[in-house]
């Protein structure tokens, strides 16, 4: 029998971090494909919106969640 040594908060944070990394990777692929197919002007117009609203805000929330998890796990 294996025991799960990680808390729920640690597993949640690692899952959010994984999906955030996949999201950033998908955005990079979409941007490269739009540049290849000649629609980079659409991607360039959406880039400030995506960066500010999605990446920056979700990244800050994820950073706060990571810091909370680190503090919680170090106390535990």
Residue 15: what pLDDT? 93
Dump pLDDT digits (tens) for 8-64.
Answer: 888 889 999 999 999 889 988 988 888 888 877 877 777 788 778 888 888 899 999
pTM for the model stands at 0.76
Residue 40: what pLDDT? 75
Cα–Cα distance for residue pair 6/26, rounded to 1 Å: 28
Residue 2: what pLDDT? 65
Cα–Cα distance for residue pair 40/50, rounded to 1 Å: 14
Distance of CA 8 to the CA centre of its chain: 19
The ranges assigned to domains in the chain are 8-75
Cα–Cα distance for residue pair 59/65, rounded to 1 Å: 10
């Amino acid at each position: 029998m294996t025991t799960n040594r990680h808390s729920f908060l640690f597993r949640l944070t690692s899952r959010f971090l994984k999906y955030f990394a996949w999201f950033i990777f998908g955005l990079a692929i979409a941007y490269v494909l739009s540049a290849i197919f000649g629609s980079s002007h659409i991607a360039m117009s959406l880039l400030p919106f995506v960066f500010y609203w999605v990446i920056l805000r979700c990244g800050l929330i994820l950073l706060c969640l990571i810091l909370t998890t680190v503090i919680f796990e170090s106390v535990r």
